[in-house]
A = this chain, B = another copy of it.
Amino acid sequence: MQRILVIDDDPSVGNFLKRGLSYEGYAVDVAESGEVGLSKAREKYPDLVILDVMMPGIDGLEVLKRLRTADEKLPVIMLTAKDAPEDQIKGLNTGADDYVSKPISFEVLLARIRSLLRRHRAEAPHVLRLADLEMNTQAFTVRRGPREITLTSLEFRLLQAFMENPNRVMNKHLLLDRVWGTDFFGDANVVEVYVKQLRQKLEAGGEPRLIQTIRGAGYVLREK
């Protein structure tokens, strides 16, 4: 599931977008200020950000600049006031990927979102590797050394989350969020169960463990 972060100080815009985009199958987080937006971006790893230019506190352009220092390719759509061509130009120069002017046409916004996400996906490499483990996210194949491994789609997504963040501890709630989506309200025990299954499959040939448990912190994908 793709994750979108909406940063807008106007709650009605936030709610409107959250409802509409959730309906379209995206996981949506809303932040009502630049500060909160930046911290949510750091926690949630959104695939795309929708950002209002005009906000009290840190304004949209500043937020954009800071988002970009963290991840220069993160797709960002700016929301601009109706008659503000200056803002638009400034925003684009600062590095926004696209802009949509208020009042928002949901259809237009949705089209821009799809196009940006498609472009961004095309840039992502198809092949993720760590040690002798290799996964091809296009062909949906996984192999450990010479051994082909078949995973269910959930196992695959879980492994992908790990492979996209090698050497980085991920706690269970982050994984729940990334793999199961925000609308999952069950126990974090599912993560344990699936990690167990993944390990079983990844180590079926007697290979060393790649998904390590860090008690009290989460799991890491790393050698040894």
Contact = CB atoms under 8 A, between A and B. Distances in A.
| Copies of this protein, total | 2
A154 B215 CA distance: 10
Contacts of A97: 125, 127, 129
Given A123-B111, A127-B92, A72 B118 contact: yes
Contacts of A136: 92, 167
Contacts of A122: 108, 111
Interface residues of A, number: 47
A139 B167 contact: yes
B216 A153 contact: yes
Given A136-B167, A152-B215, A123 B115 contact: yes
B214 A140 contact: yes
Q: Choose among A96, A124, A152 the residue with the greatest number of B CB atoms under 10 Å from its CB.
A: A124
Interface in A116-171: 116, 118-119, 122-127, 129, 134, 136, 138-141, 143, 148, 152-154, 166-169
A73 interface: yes
Contact of A169 (B112, B114, B140): B140
Given A125-B98, A216-B152, A217-B153, A93 B139 contact: no
A167 B112 CA distance: 22
Contact of A123 (B140, B166, B224): B166
Contacts of A119: 125
Q: Which 4 A-B pairs have the closest CB atoms?
A: A111-B123, A153-B216, A98-B125, A139-B167
Given A72-B118, A92-B136, A97-B125, 6 more contacts: A115-B123, A115-B124, A125-B167, A140-B214, A140-B217, A148-B224
20 contacts: A71-B118, A73-B114, A73-B115, A92-B127, A95-B129, A97-B125, A97-B127, A98-B126, A98-B127, A99-B126, A108-B122, A111-B123, A112-B123, A114-B123, A125-B167, A138-B168, A138-B169, A139-B168, A148-B224, A152-B216
